[in-house]
Structure 1
Amino acid sequence: MARYDFHAITITQITQTAGVSRVSFYRNFSSKEDILIKALRSDIEQHFYRTAQSGQLTNHRELFMAIFAFVEQKGGIVDLLYQNDLSHIFLAFIRECCGAKPESDNHTAYHHSLNMGVCFGALDEWIRRGRQGTAAEMADKVAQALATILAKW
């Protein structure tokens, strides 16, 4: 995406560059977008695993801190998504990571959707504004906003 317009990149180019067959590609991915989502998902799982191992995921603020820090760390790919008008891929990634799951009861699903919506909304604006403010500042703001919303829920 740094060299070519995302929409112009073909599955054939991807498979030739990766040295895999189209069959292998479609065995693992459903689309070009799916590659990006799964790559980000793999990276964030490693990031969260390290963060959780350090005992830093005990409340909403720490969860948001981990997400904003991850985006700071992966700024290059996130910027490419936004520069290529692909923020919907970033939203799909956030939804997959922390959105509602089909097996969840309604209360849990709505709670997860609310967390995801607040988180994505803040992340989206933060990214569009050039990531002004630190991850910690943003995590504080989002956690405070969510606490206010949940208190009224």
Structure 2
Amino acid sequence: MTVKRDGTVADYITQAFLLLLQKKSFHDIKINELCEKAGVTRMSFYRNFDSKEDVLRKWLRVITDEWLAESGISFKHNDSRKYFILLFKHMGEYREFCSRLYKDGMLHLVKDEYDRVFLSVYKGVYDEYKSYFLAGGIFNIFQRWLIGGCVETPEELADKLERILEK
């Protein structure tokens, strides 16, 4: 696979990194190899990113923000089941990618994104501690689902989560 040439240097690097992650461990990918795959220089890499982790953090933020905009979810209302279903469907679309991150010990990057989103969208609704609590709990349910092979449907996970939060 080659990198599509229809974006910015950061896009080329991100695409190349995601392609390499399909074949190699996160830790086995070298910056030189990534730059070669992307068709850019190391200087271009470091102009756009601080590290390989930074590439993934920025990509996770982009796909999360796009999903939030597309889903039209309103976090200020009490339709948490609908939100949980949409969230787990979305995460299910990235299960292979997240499984790779889990195997490579990098799934904490997804956890960091959960924290960012929950702190942002529940600002003024819950205090900071409750937002972290919810983010961590939902992330851990996602992680357990991922480790277990994603057997349950998003609806089943949402129901389990609703029962947990009722108590």
Q: Distance in 2 between matches of 1:38 and 1:140?
A: 31
Quote the sequence identity (%). 27
Asked if 1:123 is matched to 2:142, the reply is yes
**Residues 119 and 15 (structure 1), Cα distance of their counterparts in 2 relative to 1, 3 Å cut:** same
Off by >3 Å, runs of 4+ in structure 1: 55-58
> Size of the alignment, in residue pairs?
142
Residue 28 to residue 60, structure 1, CA distance change in 2 (3 Å): farther
Alignment of 1:92-131 (within 5 A): 92-98=112-118, 100=119, 108-131=127-150
Residue deviations 1:122-141 (CA, integer Å, cap 9, x gap)? 11111110111101111221
1:143–1:46 Cα change, 3 Å? same
Q: Residues 27 and 147 (structure 1 numbering): CA distance in 2 closer, same or farther, change over 3 Å?
A: farther
Q: Distance in 2 between matches of 1:14 and 1:108?
A: 41
Aligned to 2:23, what secondary structure does the other structure show?
A: coil
State how far apart, in whole Å, the 1-side matches of 2:84 and 2:48 are: 30
In structure 2, the gaps of 5 or more residues are: 1-20
Kindly indicate whether residue 20 of structure 2 is the aligned counterpart of residue 28 of structure 1: no
The residue identity in structure 2 corresponding to 1:32 is K
Q: TM-score, normalised by structure 1?
A: 0.78
- Give the Cα separation in 2 of the matches to 1:97 and 1:22: 31
Aligned-residue CA RMSD (Å): 2.3
Specify every segment of 5 or more residues in structure 1 that has no aligned partner in the other structure, as ranges: 149-153
- Alpha-carbon distance in 1 for matches of 2:131, 2:47: 30
